[in-house]
Amino acid sequence: MRAVIQRTKNASVTVEGKLISEIESGLLILIGIENEDTQEDIEWLSRKITGLRIFNDENEVMNKSITDVEGDIIVVSQFTLHASTKKGNRPSYLKAAKPDVSIPLYEAFVAQVEKDLGKKVGTGIFGADMKVQLLNDGPVTIIIDTKNKE
């Protein structure tokens, strides 16, 4: 699994002009799933994200996690995170899992984040043409890949 985590002042997901999810201060997580991903990847990544100390404390030092600040999360599936640009100018998405594999893993990841966060998270609509909007706070953007655990 590959995740792009963005600390936000606010974020939203719209599909066909309809607001699907919206949060204030929190995290927007773009998640890419590949065929080799497992429940272990889901659990490790969720714990890592909910434990990341990327929110400011009273001294304006990034020392608090999303759970510490009681922030909200939106999780959006994004197969393009597994784009390969090695050959030519048209990206290849061969590493990205097909929907029959990725949908159950995406849903399991959302459920795990909700468990670790202790509340419901927002989502997009899998496979839809989504419009994702955010005001990146900082900006703070972190990329994590479960295959290399960094």
Report the catalytic residues.
Answer: 80
Cis peptide before 139 (omega within 30 of 0): yes
CA gap 13, 120 in Å, rounded: 16
- Ordered DSSP codes for 8-46: EEEEEEEETTEEEEEESSEEEEEEE-BTT--HHHHHHHH
CA gap 148, 1 in Å, rounded: 10
* C-alpha dihedral (71, 20, 37, 143), degrees to nearest 10: -50
